[in-house]
Amino acid sequence: MLHNSLEFTHELIKKRVKTGDTVIDATVGNGGDTLLLAQLVGADGKVIGFDIQEEAINRTTEKLKNHNLLDRVALYQKGHEQLLSVYPERDSVSAIVFNLGYLPKGDKRIITSPDTTIKAIEDGLTVLKENGILLIMIYYGHEGGLLEKEAVLNYVTSLPQTNYQVLKYEFINQKNNPPFLLAVEKR
Ligand SMILES: C[S@@+](CC[C@H](N)C(=O)[O-])C[C@H]1O[C@@H](n2cnc3c(N)ncnc32)[C@H](O)[C@@H]1O
């Protein structure tokens, strides 16, 4: 059976992230991806997580505590567009994950937005190491989602093929704007 976009994202993360790695969750939300990343990097690895909402940081902290994994995660209640001020080390992280849109079971008016998302992707690519992957799950059914989808698609489509491989993973016969994945691999 074909994986849905989120399952496929998790498969890519599991294949790529190794014990001891440093990785970034650019939109921690309810902490689903943060938890997976924390499990994969092991006790010697590091997960850096961003979200602008206190609620997201609190829910994720709780989730990590319940799994005894908080020690390897640094959560910042900051926009991911500030990524470089938190973590400026070039060519050093093996994976960066974005889930665009609003916090599930949260305030649906607080959404990721094109300018800050693109700045964060651009900066994220500088800290990504060779063969590292930057994954972007695009949810665009909400108001404002289409604009962000187009902006992000335009940006990643323009990345030079000599430096990056860019993949779009999408079901094309489903109703109700199913989310899709953009995966950027640094060469
Ligand atoms: C779709 S949710 C993330 C879902 C999460 N990956 C999970 O597993 O639950 C998107 C999140 O992005 C956050 N967000 C919005 N703008 C942001 C920004 N500039 N920087 C970081 N996070 C942001 C929202 O607060 C929201 O929690």
CATH of the domain at 26: 3.40.50.150
pLDDT digits (tens, 9 = 90+) for 150-177: 999 999 999 999 999 999 999 999 999 9
Phi, psi dihedral angles at 111 (to 5 degrees): -130, 160
How many domains does the chain contain in total? 1
Give the pocket of ligand 1 (CB within 6 Å): 27, 29-33, 50-53, 56, 79-81, 99, 101, 103-104, 110, 112, 116
pLDDT digits (tens, 9 = 90+) for 59-94: 999 999 999 999 999 999 999 999 999 999 999 999
Token pair of 140 as six digits: 């665009």
Beta bridge partners of 135: 97, 183
* Of 55, 85, 112, best ligand 1 pocket probe by most atoms within 8 Å of the beta carbon: 112
Atom 22, ligand 1: residue with shortest CA distance: 51
pLDDT tier at 29, thresholds 50, 70, 90: very high
Ligand 1 atom closest to Cα of residue 25: 6
Cα 19 to middle of ligand 1, angstroms: 25
Task: Please write down the HEC assignment for all residues of the chain.
Answer: CCCCHHHHHHHHHHHHCCCCCEEEECCCCCCHHHHHHHHHHCCCCEEEEECCCHHHHHHHHHHHHHCCCHHHEEEECCCHHHHHHHCCCCCCEEEEEEECCECCCCCCCCECCHHHHHHHHHHHHHHEEEEEEEEEEECCCCCCHHHHHHHHHHHHHCCCCCCEEEEEECCCCCCCCCCEEEEEEEC
* Of 6, 52, 100, 152, best ligand 1 pocket probe by most atoms within 8 Å of the beta carbon: 52
Contacts of residue 106, Cβ cutoff 8 Å, sequence gap at least 6: 29, 53, 55, 56
Cα 3 to middle of ligand 1, angstroms: 23
Structural domain of residue 100, as residue ranges? 5-186
Question: What value does the mean pLDDT of the chain take?
Answer: 98
Atom 3, ligand 1: residue with shortest CA distance: 29
